[in-house]
Structure 1
Amino acid sequence: MLTNTRNPWLFSVLLLILSYYIECFSTAGDTLSAAESLSVSESLVSQGSIFELGFFKPGTSSNIYLGIWYKKFDVMVKDISIVWVANRENPLTDPSSSRLELSEDGNLVLLDRSSKKPYWSTNLAFPMSNSTEAIIGGDGNFVLRDRYNLSTIFWESFDHPTDTLLPGGKLRIDKITGKSKQLISWKNSEDPAPGMFSFGLDPNGGSQYVLEWNRSQSYWSSGIWNGRFFNLAPEMKQNSIFNYTFVSNENESYFTYSLNNSTFIPSRFVINISGMIQQQMWLAGHCNWNISWFQPRQKSNVYALCGAFGMSYENVSNPCQCLQGFEPFSVKDTKLYDWSGGCVRKSSLQCEDSMNTNGERDWFLKKSNVRLPVNSKVNLTGSATTCELVCMKNCSCAAYAYNSSSGCMIWEGPLLNLQQLSDGGEAGQDIYLRLSASEHRSTSLRGNKWNVWVIVSVLLPATALLSWLCIWFLSKGKVKPKGEKDSSNDLRLFDFSAEIHAINDASNTKDCLKKRGKKDVELPLFSYESVSATTNNFSDANKLGEGGFGPVYKGKLLKGQEIAVKMLSKRSGQGLEEFRNEITLIAKLQHRNLVRLLGCCIELDENILIYEYMPNRSLDFFLFDPTKKQTLDWRARFQIIEGVAQGLLYLHHYSRILAWLECLEPMKHKQTQIGLLELMGTCLLNMLWRAFSL
């Protein structure tokens, strides 16, 4: 009774085990014959189960491709074992109706049966019999042949490689037809479409192989074959594993390789998505491809590795980044990102945007220690300022560089092959990248907003206070007499970066006798017409505010630099002498943390001062506002305190104004200095208290 109840159960178990082993040990066919077709769920497997031909979806992609891969790795790592793809430029999307079959004329055809649309074909023109068959060989070669005469080969995948050369395959050029075979990289790890990098025989002749970008720009060569190996690729010498061969005769030239070891080792010669050639072997137990050698040795040596407006970096795992003001063309993860698409601008240039009516102009961002892109379009003589103006006037100009030896270089269109060099290595150069005005604004607000500008804004109120104190001091101003004309000082065209240099405070002297008789700092004098033009005729839209001195306007030069224009109100009671004194005073207080006085205008009974424009406003905007002061963390507070301390130290010990005060009569100097320091101390200590008590 017990035996009878167990027999059905034992029979079911044995049947299940038997079916499992039948499935495991059964071998799919390796041949596709006439009137047969291969669906998405089917495959061909070579003798020995080394290679498999079938359909696959790379990564997370929904696209369907016909390809060949190493059979042993299909469960775990099929995606990294693909060695050939048929329809790499024409993926299928419907798995239910996709088929590979032999057509009536003997061609292999990959089609969508529902739409009758062919996605790939061997496309042989000469007549063939209906006795053709397709077979996947143990060497990974997919062959279309005559089944009655197996030596008659009509077509083979080895003659149409994608990114991989298998042992026994040939990378050749037919000298009779002129046709050559190349390895072309995948676009990215999820798209087998042809990428930007290729490897093949030098199109200019010779017996060397070259790596090229866009099938046009060579960036590495193997050197010529010397009978044993290629001169610039010593890794390809004969060794215990691989045997490399180069053959050249009257019909063809080709490179091939084979395995010396009688034991089968999965291997491949591949050009990867980063533009490097690699010799790979599969090592048991590693579950990955081991790289025997590769070229070029540095990723950064690959031409245009990061695409248009991408910057490559040396000795880093992810060497590509978009330049500031640009973003990736693709939204894919950067590990899969097709850098051949490069980067695109976040904001249009002013000259490209016809809807831009706010008058904002493009600007240039300096990038230092870089290897310059190739193919500069213009080479001019002249100054750096001339070079910048020429680029600014040309909307196609994306960047410029200038040095005394090569002069002015300008790049039109996309920047390619821009490389950031490491310190201590090859000497780089400076390049100036053209960006939109909106990017300039975002740049000033990005990063550590409590950096240098905090220290600058600490001293802005101090500068305003000093401008009021200037009426206490008597000195001969170095302003040109009213009415004197200087045609060169058109404010709109003036280049402050070239004309005004930082003052070295350490060189100041307190020797009053020597100091008298020498000229003090002389500022540029600008015409009223040019000043008015920069502020749009002192329009209310450009007005920044108004104080006891008078109104302040925002102005913009033709090169895009922004300025602050301070007008002396006729109601202020301040005369020309006091105005000159203010200019003299502030000119003597130039410091890297102080807003700079750039020039002035005395014309048509108008007294005007030209300052640097500070877009982040004064520190009191944050310190004295009940809401905004809550945004300051303790890191910001300590930086504010440090800036205040630097301001006090500068005014007490290092400013040129103190050396100037000592040149006055002793009593007057004493009274003036006491008043100055008392007022400045009160102002800055008030800020110090505010910073601690937020």
Structure 2
Amino acid sequence: MKSKKPWLLFALLLIMSYYRSCFSIAGDTLSPGHSLSLSKRETIVSKGGTFELGFFQPGTSLKIYLGIWYKMFVPKEVVWVANRDTPLSDPSSSRLDLSEDGNLLLFQGSPWIPVWSTNLTFPGSNLTEAVLGEDGNLVLRDGSNQSCIFWESFDHPTDTWLPGSKVGINKLISWKNSEDPAPGVFSFGLDPNGSNQYFLEWNRSQIYGSSGVWNGKSFSLVPEMNGLSSQLHFCAKGQLRERVWWSGPRVWSEFWYAPWNLSDVFALCGAFGVCRDNLSNPCECLRGFEPFSVTDWSGGCVRKSPLQCENNTYANGKKDWFLKISNMQLPVYSKAYLAVNASRCKLACMENCSCTAYAYNRSGCMIWEGALFNLRQLSDGGETRQDIYLRLAAAEYQNTKGEKASSNNLLLFDFDAELYVIDDGMNTSNNLKRREKDAELPLFSYKSVSAATNKFSNMNKLGEGGFGPVYKGKLLQGKEIAVKMLSKRSGQGIEEFRNETILIAKLQHRNLVRILGCCIERDEKILIYEYLPNQSLDFYLFDQTKKKMLEWGTRIRIIEGIAQGLLYLHRYSRLRIIHRDLKPSNILLDCEMNPKISDFGMARIVGDNETQANTHRIVGTYGYMSPEYAMDGLYSIKSDVFSFGVLILEIVSGKKNTGFYNSESLNLLRYAWELWKDDQILELMESTIGYPSSTSIILRFINIGLLCVQESPTDRPTMPDVVSMISNEHAPLPTPKQPAFTRGRNVIDTNSTIDNPEICSKNSLTISTMEAR
């Protein structure tokens, strides 16, 4: 018996060693019938041993992800994550498998619950295999024809650009923080409008850095970024870094950062966070605030004590007050207010309970509503430093006892009713009554909205928009409603909320979504809409299965309904309104699949005789913005016409404009134009639902769509013209000119997922010359 004990000890050591280290199952390939098991810590390794695919836990996190990393590094240097939105939580029952139809599937639980998939729709093949290349690219290919690639991770980057991979419309998106690979607020990608330059963006909307245009050898603003042969890593703090690994000294060599100074990253410290120069930890919260998360500054800071303004009550005998903060770079998203002096500017902020700060300088009065972003503390001196007055709760005033307050850094104002004066003789209560009368919108209590949505239960959640979640609810009398809640941490939204409330309350048309009321209570801002059971147009239009529910008669009715809704906004409503964000997700469908235009948060009112305006704040969605708006900030009724033209072509083809890549085409507009020139325009029509009995009306819609997306606004028709073209089926139509955004090509080849197994993709780097306009 004693002689067997050393063997038992040896076996135990083997088992312990097995679970402490990863186990490579079959070289670089996952073959049919095989899987990677999380419980067995199985991996595959590229042929040269550079990259490894398997399961990992970032830092001290308990969440588990499938990813690719450099095998030689400890700790792991992860370059790609599959399930960054849906981490695994069950180590004992998770695995990566090749399904019968040839897809890669990530499962967990018992019974197996799918967590992530390559989601291809080609016929299954028992010869499909997944291979991890020495370049770090995970490829799903035909084992009998290895040059035929169905899917590759290079088409779906996360936060790292490896040599040979593609970054175009599919952007690099930073991790949320160093221990959470969920998508963060910073992104890096190609300008979808075809300008051949790359943008650094915050919150997918605010550009804070650019590569400049490719001149054939380098990018004009970042000449160091010329070869694109090194690794680009987009860190969680919003800084892009190019670096190379030197195997000799075993160190990373970093060539350049963008932006060079971390403090130049937009909204680095989140809402109500202040960025300070020359500090190892650059982020701090404003006084009266605390970090939302100690590990993730993108969440910014939240108030320690709630404001008292809205119900005008006292807290410990005091009311809300203002704190003067000097030497600041002023935050973004301000509103100009016409005030003759500093006192009137203060009163404007006092009177508005949504106002969180104000400033008065040589440029006049500025007020801020909602969260403050991109705050930066500047050193003494300099022309850009300003004073800003921050609204704080009464409880924070109590905390100042014992501290020395001087007129140089602290100003207090009580919110007495007598001070609520904007015009002589008009006090706050009268002003509020007048606003409520103007709005003509019922007010719901927070309690009733909470009860209608089962306390905003996740079971009632319909989705998440740009400014917050949307819930399904039911009123006491049984009426179903949709409840849109404005996120407290949204950098935008207060102005959009007010826009939508005032605008849509005044609009009544069968092709516009109806608003039933709003709730402004408990620091919440909520809109209540009619509930539309068939969700939005994009839910059907771009789904391989659901698009078949949109037969040709339904598509024609949807196009006609959208046209009628826009005609009402542009000409027949009480206000001339430019929507500015027309897209499939903002077209809701009722129980009979009739369209209703929704989401007026971006909309703008123009005068009766006014057709164009200018803005320095570009809002909207890439792929649907007209060129004059995207590039020069000029918006008009013709901007909506352009978006409508894109919608027509998407509805007819069943393809997204910005997500469409075919042969040499940059986008759907270019593809449609090439077919038009070659007299092959019938090929644009959605093939999965067959051809209509008569193609003439569909060809007419395509012609109208191309007229709407012409580059010059003066060449585009108005909506009355469009409706007339649709109604008069036999009237001749003008010949369209070349659409916008069709003259250049992508800098980087950004082939999307290939759904046909007979079509093979190949990584390539393509540089093209921009044509002058």
Task: State the match for 2:715 in structure 1.
Answer: none
Indicate the SS of the match to 1:327.
strand
Residue in 2 that maps onto 1:532 = none
Number of positions where the alignment pairs a residue of Structure 1 with one of Structure 2: 405
SS at structure 2 position matched to 1:235? coil
Name the counterpart of 1:629.
none
SS in 1 for 2:337: strand
SS of 1:96 mapped into structure 2: helix
| One-letter identity of the residue aligned with 1:77 | P
Q: Within 5 A, what are the aligned runs for 1:91-110? A: 91-110=87-106
Deviation at 1:354, TM superposition (A): 7.7
Kindly tell me: are residues 204 and 420 of structure 1, through their superposed partners in 2, closer, same or farther at Cα, counting changes over 3 Å? farther
- Please state how far the C-alpha of 1:390 moved relative to its aligned partner: 1.3
Q: Which residue of 2 aligns with 1:272?
A: 235
Q: Counterpart in 1 of 2:281? A: 318
Change (3 A) 1:48 1:214: same
Aligned to 1:619: none
Show the counterpart of 1:386.
344
Which residue in 1 is equivalent to 2:75? 77
**2:150 corresponds to 1:154:** yes
- Cα distance in 2, alignment partners of residues 296 and 105 from structure 1: 45
* Residue 426 of structure 1: how far off its partner (Å): 4.6
Cα deviation for residue 274 of structure 1 reads 0.9
Q: Which amino acid aligns with 1:276?
A: Q
CA deviations 1:648-668 (Å, max 9, x no partner) are xxxxxxxxxxxxxxxxxxxxx
- Distance in 1 (CA, whole Å) between partners of 2:336 and 2:111 is 53
* 1:236 and 2:194 aligned: no
Q: Which amino acid aligns with 1:147?
A: G
CA contact (8 A) 2:68 2:78 kept: yes
CA–CA separation in structure 2 for the residues paired with 1:24 and 1:415: 46
Partner SS, residue 158 of structure 1? helix
User: Among residues 413, 418, 423, which one is paired with 2:370 in the alignment?
Assistant: 413
> Partner residue of 1:30?
28
For the residues of structure 2 that align with 1:289 and 1:201, how far apart are their CA atoms? 26
Pairwise CA distance, 1:338: 1.4
1:99 and 1:113 in contact (8 A); partners too: no
Spell out the pairing of 1:265-664 with structure 2 (5 A cutoff): 268-284=231-247, 289-330=252-293, 332=294, 337-352=295-310, 360-403=318-361, 405-445=362-402
- Alignment check: 8 A CA contact 2:308 2:315 kept: no
State how far apart, in whole Å, the 2-side matches of 1:110 and 1:281 are: 32
SS of the residue aligned with 2:173? strand
* Structure number with larger C-alpha Rg: 1
Structure 2 unmatched runs, 5+: 408-415, 421-773
Change in CA separation of 1:92 and 1:381 when aligned onto 2, cut-off 3 Å: same
- Paired amino acid for 1:142: L
Query: Does 2:177 match 1:188?
Result: yes
Quick one: structure 1 residues 149 and 442, their matched pair in 2 at CA, closer, same or farther if it must change by over 3 Å? same
Cα displacement (A) at 1:425: 4.1
Please give the secondary structure, in 2, of the residue aligned with 1:390.
helix
- Once residues 159 and 452 of structure 1 are traced to their aligned partners in structure 2, the CA distance between those partners, rounded to angstroms, is 58
Match of 1:208 in 2: 197
Letter paired with 2:279: V
Which residue number corresponds to residue 44 of structure 1?
A: 44
Output the CA distance in 2 between the equivalents of 1:26 and 1:95: 18
* Amino acid paired to 2:103: N
Contact 2:274/2:285 (<8 A) preserved: yes
TM-aligned CA distance change 1:9 to 1:361, over 3 Å: closer
Structure 2 match to 1:577: none
Q: Please report how far the alpha carbon of residue 443 of structure 1 lies from its aligned counterpart in structure 2 after TM superposition.
A: 2.3
In structure 2, the partner of 1:217 is: 206
CA separation in 2, counterparts of 1:117 and 1:25? 24
2:67 matched to which residue of 1?
Answer: 67
Taking the aligned partners of 1:107 and 1:385, their CA distance within structure 2 comes to 66
- Distance (Å, rounded) in 1 between the aligned partners of 2:306 and 2:23: 63
- Taking the aligned partners of 1:407 and 1:424, their CA distance within structure 2 comes to 21
- Does the aligned pair in 2 maintain the 1:381–1:407 contact within 8 Å? yes
* 1:223 Cα deviation after fit: 0.8
Q: What 5-or-longer segments of structure 1 have no aligned partner?
A: 1-5, 173-179, 238-243, 245-256, 259-266, 454-490, 496-694
Q: 1:84·1:161 contact (CA, 8 Å) conserved in 2?
A: yes
1:90 maps onto 2:79 in alignment: no
Quick one: distance in 1 between partners of 2:22 and 2:271? Answer: 50
Instruction: Give the match for residue 141 of structure 1.
Output: 137
8 Å contact kept, 2:63–2:89: yes
Change (3 A) 1:352 1:98: farther
Partner amino acid for 1:109? L
SS in 1 for 2:48: coil
* Cα gap change, 1:31 to 1:355, in 2 (>3 Å): farther
Question: SS where residue 387 of structure 1 aligns?
Answer: helix
Counterpart amino acid of 2:63? Answer: N
Displacement, 1:384?
1.0
TM superposition score normalised by structure 1: 0.54
- Letter paired with 2:45: V
* CA–CA distance in structure 2, aligned partners of residues 398 and 117 of structure 1: 46
Q: Aligned equivalents of 2:63 and 2:339: distance in 1?
A: 54
Identify the residue that residue 568 of structure 1 maps to in structure 2: none
Deviation at 1:286, TM superposition (A): 6.0
1:666 alignment counterpart: none
- Check conservation: 1:112, 1:118, Cα contact below 8 A: yes
What is the DSSP-based 3-state SS (H/G/I as helix, E as strand, rest coil) of the residue aligned with 2:400? helix
Distance 1:276 1:292, change over 3 A: same
TM-score by length of 2: 0.49
Determine if contact 1:27/1:49 at 8 Å carries over to the other structure.
Answer: no
Tell whether the 8 Å contact from 2:239 to 2:257 is kept in structure 1 after alignment.
yes
Percent identical across equivalent pairs?
Answer: 61
Contact 2:315/2:395, CA 8 A, preserved across alignment: no
Q: CA–CA distance in 2 between the matches of 1:64 and 1:494?
A: 57
Once residues 353 and 216 of structure 1 are traced to their aligned partners in structure 2, the CA distance between those partners, rounded to angstroms, is: 34
Query: 2:215 is matched with which residue?
Result: 226
The letter for the 2-side match of 1:36 is H
**Contact kept? 1:350, 1:360, Cα under 8 Å:** no
Structure 1 residues 221 and 25, CA gap change in structure 2 (3 angstroms): closer
| 1:170-189 equivalence runs, <5 A | 170-172=166-168, 180-189=169-178
Q: Deviations over 1:100-123 (max 9, x none)?
A: 001111110101141421111001
Answer yes or no: is the 8 Å Cα contact 2:316–2:394 preserved in 1: no
Asked whether the equivalents of residues 327 and 386 of structure 2 are also in contact (C-alpha less than 8 Å), the reply is yes
User: 1:270–1:452: structure 2 CA closer, same or farther, 3 Å change rule?
Assistant: closer
- Rounded Cα–Cα distance in structure 2 between residues aligned with 1:494 and 1:128: 73
After superposition, the C-alpha distances for 1:523-561 in whole angstroms (9 at most, x for unaligned) are xxxxxxxxxxxxxxxxxxxxxxxxxxxxxxxxxxxxxxx
Alignment-derived partner of residue 129 in structure 1:
125
Q: Which letter maps to 1:44?
A: I
Q: How many angstroms apart in 2 are the aligned matches of 1:340 and 1:289?
A: 26
* Counterparts in 2 of 1:95 and 1:25: CA distance versus 1, 3 Å: closer
CA contact (8 A) 2:269 2:297 kept: yes
Q: Tell me: CA distance 1:285–1:319, structure 2 relative to 1, closer, same or farther (3 Å).
A: farther
Q: C-alpha displacement at 1:192, in angstroms?
A: 0.1
2:401 match: secondary structure: helix
Structure 2 residue identity aligned to 1:156 = E
1:284–1:354 CA distance, 2 compared to 1 (3 A): farther
Give the aligned CA root-mean-square deviation in angstroms.
3.4
By how many angstroms is 1:37 displaced? 1.2
Could you tell me which amino acid in structure 2 is paired with residue 343 of structure 1?
A: C
Q: CA deviation at 1:433?
A: 0.4
